[in-house]
Amino acid sequence: MLTVLSCLAVEHHPAFTLAALVICIAGSIISLRLFARVRRTSAVVKALWLFMAGLIAGGTIWSTHFVAMMGYETPVTLGYAPVPTVASLAIAVAGSTLGFHLAARTVSTAWIEAGGAILGLGIVAMHYTGMAALRLDGHVEWSMPYVIASVVLAMGFGAAATNRIGRPVTMFCKYGGAIGLVLAVVSLHFTAMAAATVVPGPAIGAIGSVISQPVMAIGVASVMTTLLALASAAYLIDLKSSQEAHNRINHLSLHDPLTGLANRTKIAEHLQSIMDGRADDTARAVVAIIGIGRFKEVNDVHGQDFGDRTLKAVAERLKSAQQPGEFVGRFGGDEFLVIIYPVYGRAEAAKFAGEWHSLTVFPFEVDGKEVSLECRLGAAIYPDHGRQPAELTERAGLALQRLKAEGRTHFAIYEPELDEESRRKSSLSVDLRNAIVNDELELHYQAQHHLKTREIIGFEALLRWNHPVHGRVSPATFIPIAEETGLIVKIGEWVLLQACREAASWERAYTVAVNVAPAQLERSDVAGDVARALEETGLASSRLELEITESGIISDQAHVLQLIRQIKKLGVRIAMDDYGTGYSSLSTLQNFPFDKIKIDREFVTDIAGNEQSAAIIRATVILANSLGIPVLAEGAENEEQLALLQESGCEAVQGFYFGRPKTVEQLRAITGFRKEGDAARSLLKKRSDSNSVRAA
């Protein structure tokens, strides 16, 4: 060790030693950074980074050696032989490249350290080849213990260098790797030089042409400057590109790709920043969700691409209207979100909500076409209605849902009772999933009468839910829940089978009408469900009538028309329900083979006092008669209505005038219907249990 230190202190010029150390440190840092790139890339890019890393590391090792050798003070040095000098550079580059290649193979093996050891061997081979290039008046004698020590040190520190890059434990390991490479080069050089003793005398072998010290200095400086500049430029360019790519990815992760507006994650971050940075306790923030109505119609009529451009037009209008303190984002689907801060009163919050609502109610121009959309806005206020981003958006959503449920197209601010309503709906939704299995659902039947003879001609099956805790739950409450959750499909199958089974037990062959929800029509096997219900219950197909609304047809007319034709092939009748409340277009009556039209109750209720309602009923009957379709009016409650309906030409009627809907037992007491066997109910429950198991 003392020999090594004396070699460093006495036999090397300090200026050259310092220059060699600077080159070694700079080159090692860049080399190990490039090696880290090799480990993170693959294929062609990996090969390019490997070539660059090997070239810079080899150049660093070679330059450090020869700069230090220039400072090696011996009076017998003549210069350097060209061939071994160039060969030593090639060996340094090759050894570095091979070592990095092996060390970059995988994280889970010892190849990381093995590659570093190969890198160290490359340093050793370069050094002793470079020493062979030295031409002097004398010869060199070697101390083998120091030679062996130099090899061990180079390989050990080389393995440590790749280990810190390949198996990092802290953010500073990248510097640890560079230190390892510096120590591998420096310890090898000075230990190996301590092993060398120059003996003056005649040179051994032919001297030949040599490269002088000044020329060598210029060459080394040129090579190293070029390599470091090239590597630094490549690394910085890649770093810049990686940063730009990271920024793009970060932007995409926080923004909606279609509209460019902030997405839910960015919205939550912005809300949280307002809450964390609020200095004025009197300042509030308004969180408003804007729901765009009739958007599905735009998609259906003009196509999805046009719908996307419509959403972009909405986003552009919202962005253009944005003022300081306001934040706009896309909440999802056809919903946008606006945050206004600061706001100092509820009246001011309502004013802002109204302004943002008004921005979306006037028509948009998309591709030269004027598009009119409905708009609803639900708002919540921070901190009055919540102190967490998710809590505020949820409550703004509740206010929006109330508007949708009530059919209003304006704006509303959250009210605390909405939480109770939401919790009740969620609870009912959970209970509704088990209602079939728990035998909580039952059917009531409302009679349909011939208007002239007043005789019963059939019954409509109406669903009722006997909740074990809440008692009788209104269909107006649980049917929307079933539609929102998708349970309406399973419930609809149960109603169809149960109605067919109970109707098959009646002594008289009355028809039974069953409502079919729009969600059921979207399924391609509804005709199969009808066929199976008829087969299992033995009900004649002519006694079954399915009622569908025009709103259930309009979403996919081609599919529903095909479905209706399949059902009619079974001999089942199809009725249009709630006529007059939907689109009620003549083309629908022309294109769809309906067997009956049912006029909605709201027209029958107003028939005596509203001439428009009476005119609609008369026009409907005239139109139906011209198409050969019978008409049934719903909601008849008094003799005056019956007389006016008969005068209008209506053929059949149902309503409370003839009594409220009755259970099977009540009908049995009145009409003498046979009692349905217990075995049938057991079979029905068994089928429901089996369906639940398959669904699970």
Cα separation of 160 and 622, whole Å? Answer: 96
Return the closest-CA partner of residue 329 out of 292, 381, 288: 288
Return the closest-CA partner of residue 690 out of 508, 437, 462, 521: 437
Cα separation of 144 and 594, whole Å? Answer: 106
Residue 538 tokens, joined: 């033995």
Helix (H, G, I), strand (E, B) or coil at 361: coil
Cα separation of 592 and 568, whole Å? Answer: 11
634 is a catalytic site residue:
yes
Can you tell me which residue has the tokens 């990095």? 100
Residue 13 tokens, joined: 């010029």
Cα separation of 335 and 435, whole Å? Answer: 33
List of residues 6+ apart from 65 with CB closer than 8 A: 20, 88, 126, 127, 130, 185, 189
Annotated catalytic residue, options 113, 460, 550, 634: 634
Residue 334 tokens, joined: 């056809």
Cα separation of 59 and 57, whole Å? Answer: 5
Give me the helices (H) in 255-367, please.
Answer: 264-277, 295-302, 304-321, 346-359
Residue 33 tokens, joined: 């950074």
Q: What is the dihedral of CA 660, 665, 666, 668, to 10 degrees?
A: 120
Length of the chain: 696
Number of C-beta neighbours around residue 246 at 10 A: 10
Q: CA geometry: angle at 159 spanning 157 and 161, to 5°? A: 70
Can you tell me which residue has the tokens 């009679």? 447
Cα separation of 631 and 352, whole Å? Answer: 50
Asked if 199 and 139 touch (Cβ cutoff 8 Å), the reply is yes
Asked if 364 and 310 touch (Cβ cutoff 8 Å), the reply is yes
DSSP 107: S
Residue 182 tokens, joined: 């510096």
Cα separation of 42 and 143, whole Å? Answer: 44
Residue 681 tokens, joined: 């109910």
Q: How far is CA 124 from CA 17, 96, 150, 188, 589, in A?
A: 19, 11, 8, 7, 94
DSSP 587-641: HHHHHS--SEEEE-HHHHHTTTT-HHHHHHHHHHHHHHHHHT--EEEE---SHHH
Residues annotated as part of the active site: 634
